[in-house]
Every structure is written in structure tokens, then in C-alpha cells.
């Protein structure tokens, strides 16, 4: 008799928004997915060839990924805690890491390992595949952080950055905070030129296009939940105001000539 195929390990995915669907698309060949999201339309599950499960069933898997907004994470951690199995691995995929790491460390049972991750890409930038894209991996509890990083490199071709939640948020305050802030300002200034443009302007608008359709929760998390974002934002505006003042002085001097 032919041997039966080896069953795939089960993985609970909680959250089936745009990023949750991206996660599911790339992990479906590697895991048996148990997906829960009471707010996702049935059509999204059907399109992905999945059937939704209860929160308890998703949380009972040996690996659980939390793909929900940071603003809802504390309530979600409270709700899944009774259903997690000893030795389970819980990961999040939020844009900030200090606050989620604190929430998960405080709210998840002691026998559960925790790895905070931040894929440094979204559905737009991942439309041509994941290979070579970056992901930050922050071990929070347990020793499986390096193993998670090795899996992501081997199975998905991602470039893994092992770091801490604090170091992540310090860098992300500039990398993401400024990108989203500038994009918000430029979108508010539209319509902007589209015909007589330079290559540098086109690249700036291409960057704007990569984040303009992000959910509002993403922008709020990047700017409000990152403990270092305010400092970077204030420095940016101080320098912008200084430059505006210097240019105003030049304009005044020119008018007096």
C-alpha cells in the first residue's frame, strides 16, 4: 500500500485582513491553516480556499500568529490565553514592537514562547514575491527566536534581522514614521504634477503609493504606539521650520535689494 502523506503541522492565524491574507497565501503550502477573523467576509475565506474556525481552535495550534491591529492586541491576548497549549509559540506581525512585546509577555501563560516580528513589507511591496524582503525578529520569551529566523530564511527567502523590540522601534521611528508622515502630507497636497516630473519626484510618489492605502490603524500604530516616534517627528518639524525660516530670510533680503 502507498504510504499516506505526512500531515502538515497546524498553524493558527488570527486576523484575516490584507496582511493576514498575505501570510496565509505564503504559509498555506507549509502548514494546515486554522484561520479566525469574525470581521472578515466569507468571500475572503472562500477565495483563499479556507474555512474560518473559532478563536479557541485557532489558539490551540502549536504555532499562533496574531495579525490584528496593535490597538486590539491586549484584548486578543486576554481572549486566547486560556486556549493556548503548553509549549506553543505565539508571534505577532505588528509595525511596532515594544508595546506588543510587553502585552504578550504580561498576558500570555508562562509556558508559551513569544517572538515579536515585523515584516518590513506589505501586500503592495510583496506582490512580486517575498524573496529578499526584510523581516525583523525579536525574541521575547524562550529560545526559539533564532529558529524562527532560520525558518523564514530557508522556507520563504526572507532577509532576517534579529533584534530587540527597543532597537526595532528606535529605527522604525525614522524608517516608518517619517515615510508615513511625509506620505500623509503629500497626499493632502494632491493634486500634484504627473506630467513634467523628475525621476526623483517619481520615486518619491512611488513610495507614497506603497503606503497610501494602508489601513488607518497602521498609521496610528506607527506614529502613536512607537515610543520613539514623537521624538523623531518633533526633530523633523524643528528642522523643517528652521529651513523655512532661513529661506524666508533669503527671500526678504532679495526683496530689499
Q: What integer best gives the mean pLDDT of the chain?
A: 94
Residue 3 above 60 pLDDT?
Answer: no
109 domain residue, yes or no? yes
The pLDDT value recorded for residue 161 is 98
38 shares its domain with 147: yes
186 and 103 within one domain = no
Q: What is the mean pLDDT of residues 122-151?
A: 96
* Longest distance between any two alpha carbons in the chain, whole Å: 96
Would you say residue 202 lies in a domain?
yes
Q: What is the DSSP letter of 45?
A: H
What residues does 35 pair with on adjacent strands?
A: 13
How far is C-alpha 8 from the geometric centre of its chain's CA atoms?
A: 26
60 located within any domain: yes
Total tally of structural domains belonging to the chain:
2
pLDDT at 27 over 70: yes
146 shares a domain with 182: no
- For residue 257, the model assigns a pLDDT of 56
Query: pLDDT value at position 1?
Result: 47
**Per-residue pLDDT averaged across 177-198, rounded?**
97
What b/e sequence results for 87-117 when a residue is b if at least 16 CB atoms lie within 10 Å of its CB, and e otherwise? ebbbbbbbbbbbbbbebbeebbeeebbbbbb
Task: Look at residue 249 in the predicted model and tell me its pLDDT.
Answer: 74
Mean predicted confidence (pLDDT) in 106-116: 97
Task: Indicate whether 111 belongs to any domain.
Answer: yes
Tens digits of residue pLDDT in 145-175: 999 999 999 999 999 999 999 999 999 999 9
Q: Looking at the structure, tell me whether residues 98 and 35 fall in a common domain.
A: yes
Residue 4 falls within a domain, yes or no?
Answer: no
Q: For residue 2, is it within any domain? A: no
Residues 137 and 216 in one domain: no
The answer on 141 and 68 residing in a single domain is yes
Same domain, 243 and 157: no
Domain's final residue, options 134, 163, 192 = 163
pLDDT band at 256; cut points 50, 70, 90: low
pLDDT over 70, % of the chain = 95
Range from 35-39, 158-162, 179-183, 209-213 carrying the lowest mean pLDDT: 209-213
| Residue where a domain stops, chosen among 163, 194, 226 | 163
Q: Are residues 199 and 105 in the same domain?
A: no
**pLDDT for residue 244 is more than 80:** yes
pLDDT tens per residue across span 67-87: 999 999 999 999 999 999 999
pLDDT-derived band at 251 (thresholds 50, 70, 90) equals low
Which of the listed residues 163, 193, 228 is the one where a domain comes to its end? 163
Helix then strand count (H, E) for the chain reads 11, 7
**Contact (Cβ atoms closer than 8 angstroms) between residue 100 and residue 116:** yes
Is residue 255 in some structural domain? no
**What pTM value is reported for the model?**
0.91
Residues 6+ away with beta carbon under 8 Å from 222: 95, 96, 172, 176, 177, 180, 229
Shared domain check, 229 and 132: no
Residue 245 shares a structural domain with residue 125: no
Range of the domain at 177: 173-249
What is d(CA 47, CA 43) in angstroms, rounded to the nearest whole number?
Answer: 6
- Please check whether residue 196 lies inside any domain of the structure: yes
Same domain? For 150 and 205 the reply is no
**For 137, which DSSP code?**
E
Instruction: Note whether 200 and 143 are same-domain residues.
Output: no
* Spatial distance between the Cα atoms of 72 and 91, rounded to a whole number of angstroms: 15
Amino acid at each position: 500500500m502507498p504510504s499516506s502523506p505526512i500531515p502538515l503541522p497546524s498553524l493558527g492565524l488570527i486576523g484575516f485582513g490584507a496582511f493576514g491574507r498575505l501570510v496565509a497565501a505564503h504559509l498555506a503550502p507549509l502548514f494546515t491553516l486554522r484561520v479566525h477573523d469574525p470581521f472578515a467576509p466569507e468571500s475572503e475565506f472562500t477565495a483563499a480556499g479556507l474555512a474560518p474556525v473559532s478563536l479557541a481552535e485557532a489558539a490551540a495550534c502549536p504555532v499562533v500568529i496574531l495579525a490584528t491591529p496593535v490597538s486590539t492586541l491586549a484584548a486578543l491576548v486576554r481572549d486566547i490565553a486560556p486556549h493556548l497549549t503548553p509549549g506553543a509559540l505565539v508571534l505577532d506581525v505588528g509595525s511596532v514592537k515594544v508595546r506588543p512585546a510587553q502585552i504578550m509577555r504580561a498576558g500570555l501563560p508562562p509556558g508559551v514562547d513569544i517572538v515579536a516580528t515585523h515584516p518590513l513589507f506589505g501586500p503592495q511591496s510583496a506582490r512580486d514575491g517575498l524573496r529578499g524582503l526584510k523581516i525583523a525578529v525579536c525574541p521575547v520569551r524562550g529560545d526559539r527566536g533564532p529558529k524562527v529566523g532560520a525558518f523564514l530564511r530557508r522556507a520563504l527567502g526572507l532577509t532576517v534581522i534579529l533584534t530587540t523590540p527597543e532597537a526595532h522601534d528606535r529605527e522604525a521611528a525614522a524608517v516608518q514614521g517619517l515615510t508615513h508622515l511625509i506620505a500623509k502630507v503629500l497626499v493632502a497636497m494632491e493634486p500634484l504634477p504627473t506630467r513634467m516630473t523628475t525621476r526623483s519626484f517619481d520615486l518619491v510618489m512611488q513610495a507614497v503609493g506603497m503606503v497610501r492605502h494602508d489601513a488607518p490603524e497602521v498609521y496610528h500604530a506607527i506614529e502613536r504606539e512607537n515610543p520613539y516616534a514623537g521624538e523623531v517627528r518633533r526633530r523633523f518639524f524643528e528642522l523643517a521650520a528652521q529651513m523655512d525660516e532661513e529661506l524666508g530670510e533669503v527671500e526678504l533680503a532679495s526683496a530689499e535689494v
